[in-house]
Amino acid sequence: MATVRWTPTARRQYEELQVSADRSGRTRARTGRRKSSRQEGLFKQVRKTILLLADNPRHPGLQTHPYHSLESPFDPKAKVFEAYAQHRTPGAYRVFWCYGPGPGEITILAITPHP
C-alpha cells in the first residue's frame, strides 16, 4: 500500500468536499430523509478513489491514464495521472496524482470536475 501525500490545493479540495457532505448529512438527518445527497455521494466516491489509489494505482475501476496538461511538482519529466472518481456523469470528478516524492508514495495534486 502506497503512502498518500497531498498538495495544499488537493487537501483543501478534499476538505471542502468533506465539509459539504457532512453539512448535507446533518440536514438530511434533521429532516428525516433517507436518501443520501449528491454531496454525500460525491465525497464517498472521491474517498473510495483515494483508497483504491493507495492500494493499487492501476486498479481497473480507476481507469488511470497519463494526463499531459499538468506537470509533476517533483520531476518535470515524470508523468501525472488522472483517475476517475465518477463515470458517465456531467462534470464527473477526477483525481490528478503522480508518483513521489519518495519510493512507495503517491501525491494527490488536485480533485476537480472534468472540464
Q: Where are the domains of the chain?
A: 3-113
Q: What was the pLDDT predicted at 9?
A: 96
What's the pLDDT score for residue 115? 67
Q: What mean pLDDT comes out for the span 67-94? A: 92
Give the whole-angstrom CA distance, residue 89 versus residue 82: 16
Cα within 13 Å of Cα(27), Cβ side:
11
pLDDT at 49: 97
Coil, strand or helix at 17: helix
Q: How far is CA 5 from CA 36, 88, 105, 115, in A?
A: 29, 28, 7, 24
pTM over 0.85: yes
Return the C-alpha cell found at 88.
Answer: 458517465
* CATH class given for the domain over 3-113: alpha beta
